Each structure stands twice: as structure tokens, then as C-alpha cells.
Amino acid sequence: MKVLHVITGLASGGAERQLRDLVALRGLPTEVAVLTNPGVVAREIRAAGTRVHELGMRGNRDVRAVGSLARLVRAGGYDVVHTHLFRAGLYGRLAARLAGVPAIVATEHSIGEHHIEGRAITKPIRLLARGGERLGHVTVAVSSAAARRLRSWGVPASRIEIIPNGLDHAAFAFDPVARKETRAELGIPQDAVVVGGVGRLARGKRFDVLVEAVAGLPEVVLLLAGDGPARADLAALAREAGAGRRVVFAGESSRIPALLSAMDVFAAPSQEETFGLAVLEALAAGLPAVYAACPALDELPAGFDTPAARRTPSTPHDFRKAVQALIKTAPTRFPVPAAVRHYDIKHHVARIEALYTRVHQHTSRPKREQ
């Protein structure tokens, strides 16, 4: 089988890094198509030897991308098209249908109770998402929480497959050399206490909570890894709160492990998470973590303990208190918990490729045999 992954963009985000890792370990011939914004992750995927097609989509209503993508799919002779994120899920599944692809799979990475990929869930958004879902054969939910939300939208349970995200925990191991070099590069004192966050700088991620929390901790530096539309507002909030010099924006980066090594405490204030990959990456780096929502930890089987992770309400006051407590009591680095190893990337890849085989066999079977 030959697989084409279609994703909205390839800036450094959780879904994008998950696709990079999936492609790196795939056992099938695989290519990637990106609708717009081929960022650092596109370069990483290419550098690892996988072809990346750029569609050059100019906006949500640039329907010409459907025709371009359908032509690419026909020419490539793909057996499976696997879409990621909202816009790619809509346009990619439609193009795959037009091209007659036998197996169409989508992964739902970022569906919240009230927002999907940072945009409010309105009636038109819901209708578009449901229409796009019907064009595919199965939708992968990365957590039980995501599956529950999909069912509430009217997606039949029989069309949903729960396959949690995975990560290569060894890639995030604490590196004291990277810690020193990264702090020097970003102008952070080597002896500073650094609270960090990783993710797209969008309103739904609630990084404003961290800015306000750190503003009340004069000995703490806040390091934010990521970029997005809320960056200017966050910088302005930091200046207004008197913490402008203590909030460091690392921007979009492919060096997330090094940035995690530069941190002392990880903080994730988002209230709507589909999985919570960034929290797991932080735990893999040995960091204590305070978070508002993380289905990956909530849905662990019985017997898993995560002493380095602490859940708290997403308010500046609560995050400030939690950070203060961790600074006072937490060791420099924690051992990697078994909970992180539970979500091994190799297991994720094996389950995804087994799903491709199952869907392809089912849809390719003559109708009289089905």
C-alpha cells in the first residue's frame, strides 16, 4: 500500500510533530501533502527522506486546492489518504473521494468542547465537519475524550477508532549541555528559575494565564515555545503586568527537547485538550508539570502513577500557587514515568498501519462479499 498524508500546515505544533514521527517510523511507502504554511516540520520530514508536496492554498475558501490535490492523488496512485486537522480533513477527504482512493482515514487531533483548533465551534463549522467526515471511511480519535466529542456531533461509534498519540520519550531526555546553550542563546540567566509552555500561541491555549501567574513571581522567567496570532497580545500583557523582560518568546522551533531541557517547571493552562502531548513530552524530559487538562493522563489504565504531574484550575492564582509549590519541593529532574512509556510512538505507528490494512481490505472487497 502507498499512503499520502494530507495536513493543513506544517509549522511546529503537536499534530504536526505527531505526523513527523509517524512518517519517520512508517513501514509503508509514504508521502505528505501540506495545504499551506510548510514550516519547520516540513523541512524535518524532507530531511528524513520523505517527499512533501506543497499545495500553496491561499485561504479557507481557496477551493482550487481540491482540484490540485485530487490531481496529485490520482497521479500518485495512493491506496490510502490520511488527513490531519480540520481544513485538511475537509478538502483532503473530498479530493480523495474524487480521485477514487480505496481507503480514506482522518485523525481528529484538536476537538474541544467549545473550540476546534482554536476556532469557536459554530453551527456552520459543525455542519462542515460532519459533511467532511461522511466522505471518509474512519476517523481516528486520539483519546476517549475526542471520541466522545465526535459522537456528540453525530458521528457513529462504528466510524470512530481510538488510537492514542505516541512519542519517542528518549528523544526528550534531559540534556544539561542543551540546557546551558539554549539559555545562553535566549538570554536567560543560567541560575534563573524557568517556567515553560509549549504550543501554538492562540487564545484557546490560555498562555495569558501563565503570563499573569509569572508576573506575580518576580524570581521566575517564563519561556514560551511556539508562535501564533496571540503573540503580540501576550507580549503586551507581559509589559502591562511589569514582566516584559521576564517573558521570553522562543518562536516556532524544531528544538523542543532542547527548550524543555532549559525549563525547570512545565505549565499547560489550556482547558480544552484532545490529548495533551506537550505534557507527556515535558514528563519525558523529567520536568514537573502543572496542567489544566490532559486526557492522556486522565485515561491511563489503573496502576499508573505520575507524581511529577499536578492538575489545577486554569487561573493565574492557581497556576502561581502550583508553580511556587513545585519550585520549592520538586527535584531538579524526575525519572521518566511509566505513563510516558505507555504511549510509545512505535505502538502508535503499528496500530495506524494495521488500521490502513483493515480499511483497505474492507473497502476493496467486492460488494457482493461485504
- Indicate the range of 105-119, 142-156, 318-332 predicted with least confidence: 105-119
- Looking at the structure, tell me whether residues 296 and 178 fall in a common domain: yes
Cell of 133: 467526515
Give residue-wise pLDDT tens across range 114-161: 778 777 888 888 888 889 999 999 999 999 999 999 999 899 999 999
pLDDT at 369: 46
- Looking at the structure, tell me whether residues 196 and 143 fall in a common domain: no
pLDDT at 367: 54
Specify the pairing of strand 80-84 against strand 119-120: unpaired
CB atoms near residue 321 (< 10 Å): 15
- Looking at the structure, tell me whether residues 128 and 192 fall in a common domain: no
Quickly state the pLDDT bin for 190 (edges 50, 70, 90).
Answer: very high
Write the CA distances from 33 to 38, 205, 213, integer angstroms: 10, 26, 40
Average pLDDT of the segment spanning 9-23: 92
- Comparing 111 with 338, the larger pLDDT belongs to 338
- Looking at the structure, tell me whether residues 151 and 273 fall in a common domain: no
- Residue 6: strand, helix, or coil: strand
Statement: residue 112 has pLDDT above 90: no
Write the CA distances from 59 to 35, 42, 53, 64, integer angstroms: 9, 19, 17, 10
pLDDT at 117: 75
Q: What rounded mean pLDDT belongs to the chain?
A: 93
Q: Which helix (H) or strand (E) holds 229?
A: none
- Looking at the structure, tell me whether residues 116 and 176 fall in a common domain: no
Average pLDDT of the segment spanning 314-335: 92
- Indicate the range of 30-39, 67-76, 87-96, 357-366 predicted with least confidence: 357-366
pLDDT at 370: 46
- Looking at the structure, tell me whether residues 213 and 304 fall in a common domain: yes
- Looking at the structure, tell me whether residues 72 and 202 fall in a common domain: no
Average pLDDT of the segment spanning 82-109: 95
Q: Quote the CA–CA distance of 240 and 345 in Å, as a whole number.
A: 42
Give residue-wise pLDDT tens across range 217-264: 999 999 999 999 999 999 999 999 999 999 999 998 889 999 999 999
- Looking at the structure, tell me whether residues 41 and 155 fall in a common domain: yes
- Looking at the structure, tell me whether residues 173 and 126 fall in a common domain: no
State which residues form the domain around 159: 3-166+344-369
- Looking at the structure, tell me whether residues 319 and 353 fall in a common domain: no
pLDDT at 60: 75
pTM: predicted TM-score of the whole model, two decimal places? 0.91
Quickly state the pLDDT bin for 366 (edges 50, 70, 90).
Answer: low
- Looking at the structure, tell me whether residues 305 and 359 fall in a common domain: no
- Looking at the structure, tell me whether residues 283 and 320 fall in a common domain: yes
**Count of domains forming the chain:** 2
Amino acid identity for residue 89 in this structure: G
pLDDT at 329: 84
Q: What's the CATH code of the domain at 285?
A: 3.40.50.2000
